[in-house]
Amino acid sequence: MERYQLVWSDTFGDWVEIVLRAAEAAGKLAPETYAAEVILEAPQDIDTADFVAAIGAVSESMTRGSLDSQAAQGTTRKLVEMMLADFGVHDADEVMTSEVAAELGTLLAAVRANLDGGSVEPSQVIEFLIGALADG
């Protein structure tokens, strides 16, 4: 495995741990482990913007009441599972419970709204994530 693949594998594993710890802290989940097996078999060139936009749209539809929360959670869960699978995360369906998907969908919708509204820059979001990973 190439050096950059190891870096990304560790980074994605850290992201899974951050989401699981946040869900646990919120009382939404009691994971048996925070570990995730991330395998990048080939360099990935994945545009996540479509996934983030779709998850944000689902969350906004639920907020407006045009989509019930159960359907929104299920849709968000499947979108995140597809994104994780594109990144090479095996067993993404086991990692993404409905509760974790709902929390992640809300978070991504808020990030997208702030980016679209110009209140934060993409570099600020990246700096925050890097800081969260370093603290973890």
Phi/psi zone of residue 27: left (φ > 0), alpha (ψ -120 to 50 degrees), beta? left
40: pLDDT strictly greater than 60: yes
96: pLDDT strictly greater than 80: no
How far apart (Å, rounded) are the C-alpha atoms in residues 125 and 17? 18
Q: How many domains does the chain contain in total?
A: 1
19-28, 42-51, 88-97, 126-135: which range is least confident on average? 126-135
**Mind listing the pLDDT tens digit for each residue in 1-35?**
567 777 878 888 888 888 888 888 888 888 888 88
Read off the pTM.
Answer: 0.44
Structure tokens at 124: 């600020």
Range of the domain at 93: 3-135
How far apart (Å, rounded) are the C-alpha atoms in residues 59 and 106? 6
Mapping DSSP onto H, E and C, the string for 13-48 reads: HHHHHHHHHHHHHCCCCCCCCCCCCECCCCCCCCCC
Mean pLDDT to the nearest integer, 117-126: 77
Instruction: Kindly state the percentage of the chain with pLDDT values over 90.
Output: 0
97: pLDDT strictly greater than 80: no
**Mind listing the pLDDT tens digit for each residue in 53-78?**
787 788 778 778 887 877 877 787 78
Residue-level pLDDT at 134: 54
Mapping DSSP onto H, E and C, the string for 36-104 reads: CCECCCCCCCCCCHHHHHHHHHHHHHHHHCCCCHHHHHHHHHHHHHHHHHHCCECCHHHHCCHHHHHHH
Residue-level pLDDT at 28: 80
Residue-level pLDDT at 135: 54
Is the alpha carbon torsion for 80, 94, 133, 23 positive or negative? positive
* Cβ–Cβ < 8 Å for 106, 59: yes
